[in-house]
Amino acid sequence: MRFKDTNQDINNIAKIELNRDMPIPLYYQISQMIRQEINSGDLKPGDKILTEEKLQQQFDVSRATVRKAISDLVYDGLLEKRASKGTIVATPKVEESMYGVVSFTASTLQNNKSLRTEIIDFKIVSNIFEIAEKLEIPESETVYYIKRIRYIDDHPVTIEDWYAPTRLLPDFNPDLFTSEGEGQSSYSLIQKKYKYNLVSIHDIMSAVLLDPEESKLLDCRKGTPALLRQRVTYDENRVPIVYSSGRYLIKISLDFYADQKEKDR
């Protein structure tokens, strides 16, 4: 394995010759070599690659050439720059379907991924105009608030702020959730314990840049692009049960059907 960082002394790194006679940019040759090791499995998700200085020494090129090669792989989603670890091989993005009312938990587990949830805040709040408006309740009415981080294969991928009217979910508390498995799903809990039939959602999605606090929680650099997803979930009587706002480092898949017959094909 030529590109995994094993704390090897820079003076002992084996040189790799690039083809300088071909009309192929050196940065592209470097990125293709690293890409090949990732695709072959020699470099695995979470592996830290050689530092820019070590890659510069290994290929005998300028720092700018190395940075261009790394930037291309980051852009393609194969590498990530982590504040605490340096540049690592990225975990493949989880593709979440947006058709129907599907919880993040169910969607992730259906993709055969390991999911873990950490609740970092829980309280009862009121007098937040935006939340009251989303849940269609008086501003003075109390709501449960949960802030949680979701981990896929032990990598933080989502920060979520979650709200629900206390009137609709009596005796609700974080101990009702499990940290792993289907029991992490608020949809599952609400439908099984409180007997609400969640049948429709209203999603608003937009691109955002993570602020310093969000970047720290998701272990990535300040200003990392993310998906802001704001969702209101309704029961069969069109009553808003949950409002959530999350920052996602995942890929969303959108499927549109002209009619039910097309969906069932």
**Residue ranges of domains in the chain:** 10-89, 95-263
State percent of the chain over pLDDT 70.
83
CATH 1.10.10.10 fits 10-89, yes or no: yes
Report yes or no on whether pTM surpasses 0.85. no
Distances (CA, A) of 20 to 23, 29, 31, 90, 209: 8, 10, 15, 29, 39
Nearest to 174 by CA among 100, 212, 122: 122
Chain centre distance of CA 247: 7
Quick one: pLDDT band at residue 97, thresholds 50, 70, 90?
very low
Q: Do domains 10-89 and 95-263 have the same CATH topology?
A: no
Cβ neighbourhood burial of 107 (10 Å; 0-12, 13-18, 19+): buried
Q: What is the mean pLDDT of residues 117-135?
A: 93
Question: What's the rounded Cα separation, in Å, for the pair 132 and 138?
Answer: 6
* Contact (CB, 8 A) for 168 and 241: yes
φ and ψ at 235, to 5 degrees?
-90, -175
Q: What is the mean pLDDT of residues 80-109?
A: 66
- When pLDDT is cut at 50, 70 and 90, the band that residue 119 belongs to is very high
User: What architecture does CATH give domain 95-263?
Assistant: 3-Layer(aba) Sandwich (3.40)
Tell me the pLDDT of the chain averaged across its residues: 83
Q: How many CB atoms are closer than 10 A to CB 178?
A: 13
pLDDT at position 172 = 95
Residues 6+ apart with CB under 8 A from 206: 227, 228
Count CB neighbours of 29 within 10 A: 18
Res 259 pLDDT > 60: no
Query: Rounded to whole angstroms, how far apart are CA atoms 91 and 112?
Result: 14
pLDDT the model gives residue 200: 87
